[in-house]
Amino acid sequence: MLLAVPRKLIVLGDSGVYGWGDPEEGGWCERLRRHWMGLPGGPVLYPLGVRGDGLERVAARWASEFACRGELRRQQPQGILLSVGLNDTARIGRRDGRHQLDPEAFLFGLQQLLNQLKAAAPVLVLGLTPVDEHVMPFADLLWYSNEHVRQYEALLKEACMEADLPFLPLLDSLLADPSWLQWICPDGIHFNSEGHRQIYERVRHWSPLLSWANLQPTSAGTPLY
C-alpha cells in the first residue's frame, strides 16, 4: 500500500521563527511542528528562521530554501508561511535614525516578494509582535518602537489585501493582554517561552492555516483571529 505523501509547509522568517528566547520548547514554530507531527496526516513543517533577517535577506534566500524541501523527486512544498518585518522597523544608531529598511522600500519589496511566493505555492502571512521600548536600544545600536511596529504591520496587511492573501495580525491581540510585557525577554524584542506559547496558540487555531492543512478546528481558550 502506498502511503499518502504529507503536505509540506516552509516557514520563512527571522529569530521569531527560529525560536530564540524559548529554551523550553524551541519557539512557536517548533511547537507547531511537533503538534502537527503528532496528528494523523499532519503536514510536515520546515522552520526556516535566521536571526537578524529582514525582508531583503528573506527575499534573497527563499527560492533556494523552497527548492530543496520537496523531499521527493519533482516535488515542491505545498505552502509558504511568511513571518518577517520586525527587524526592518528598527532605527539605527538613535531614536530618530534611519530605519533598517524604510517603509516605502519595505512595502515595495514586500509586494515583489509576495508575487514571487504566490507563483510557487499558496502563501500565508503573519503580523508583528510588540517590543519593550523601555530597554532600547537593542545591542546598543537598534531602536525599536511599537509605533513603528504598528506601521509596518499595517504595510504587511495592505500588501496581503492587494495580493488576496491570508494575513494574521498579532500586535493588537498581544497588546490587549495586560501581561504582554512579561512575555518579552530582557533584550526587549524577543519573546520568551510564554510569549512563544501565546503566538503558537494564535497560529495553530488560525482558520486559513487549518484550511490549508486540511485540519479541523479544535476547541481552545484562545480565540480565533
Asked whether residue 225 is assigned to any structural domain, the reply reads: no
Predicted confidence at residue 69, as pLDDT, reads: 87
Average pLDDT over residues 42-71: 93
pLDDT of residue 218: 59
Pairwise CA distance, residues 101 & 104, whole Å: 8
Q: Tell me which of 36-40, 150-154, 163-167 is least confident.
A: 36-40
Query: Is 3 inside a domain boundary?
Result: no
DSSP 134: G
pLDDT at 220 over 90: no
Q: d(Cα 18, Cα 12) in Å, to the nearest integer?
A: 9
Distance CA 79, CA 24 (A): 27
Over residues 153-193, the pLDDT tens digits come to 999 999 999 999 999 999 999 999 999 999 999 999 999 99
Task: Please report the pLDDT score of residue 30 as a whole number.
Answer: 97
Within-domain flag for 2: no
Of residues 100 and 219, more confidently modeled:
100
Q: What is the pTM of this model?
A: 0.92
Q: How many domains does the chain divide into?
A: 1
pLDDT in tens, 189-211: 999 999 999 999 999 999 999 99
Any domain includes 61 = yes
Q: What is the mean pLDDT of the chain?
A: 93
Asked if residue 99 has pLDDT above 60, the reply is: yes
Q: For position 29, what pLDDT does the model report? A: 97
The mean pLDDT of 38-59, rounded to a whole number, is 94
Are the CB atoms for 117 and 159 separated by under 8 Å?
no
pLDDT at residue 102 greater than cutoff 90 = yes
Q: Is residue 98 part of a domain?
A: yes
pLDDT at residue 74 in the model: 74
Res 1 pLDDT > 60: no
Please tell me the distance from the alpha carbon of residue 170 to that of residue 172, in angstroms, as a whole number: 6
Residue 75 has what pLDDT?
82
What's the domain range around 121?
A: 8-213
Helix (H, G, I), strand (E, B) or coil at 191: strand
Instruction: Residue 71: give its domain's CATH number.
Output: 3.40.50.1110
- Rounded percentage of the chain residues whose pLDDT exceeds 70: 93
Domain annotation covers residue 221: no
Sign of the dihedral defined by the CA atoms of residues 92, 175, 114, 32, in that order? positive
Is 117 inside a domain boundary? yes
Query: In this structure, is residue 224 part of a structural domain?
Result: no
